[in-house]
Amino acid sequence: MECADGRLAALVDNLQLSTIGPDAPCPPPLGGGIRLTFLARAGGPPLAVAQGPAACGTVQFSVGGKRQPTLQLTGSFIPQVRKLADLDWKVP
């Protein structure tokens, strides 16, 4: 059975690249969001970080501290993260 971290990484990996331009007039996101930090070992440096939702429903993504192209959030992404991480809270 794959660990939750592997399934969370697969969720991020399956997000499509955003086609929204950097100068698009997007409203700021409402409420809070989530930040997924992937580590090779507890207390180690982040291998990758996914954070969202950002403006226009995007996810900011970095690998090894280097920003990567923005990803497009799907409506099922946050509920799937909550389920896989066994979190019982709502993100607006």
Predicted confidence (pLDDT) per residue in 56-90, tens digit? 888 899 999 999 999 998 888 888 888 888 776 66
Mean local confidence (pLDDT), 26-45 = 83
Cβ atoms of 17 and 72 within 8 Å: the answer is: yes
| 5-33 residue pLDDT tens | 688 889 899 999 999 877 888 877 776 78
What pLDDT is stored for residue 62 in this prediction? 95
Mean local confidence (pLDDT), 49-61 = 87
Rounded distance between C-alpha atoms, residue 4 and residue 16, angstroms: 21
Q: What does pTM read for this prediction? A: 0.79
> Which sequence spans correspond to the domains of the chain?
4-16+29-78
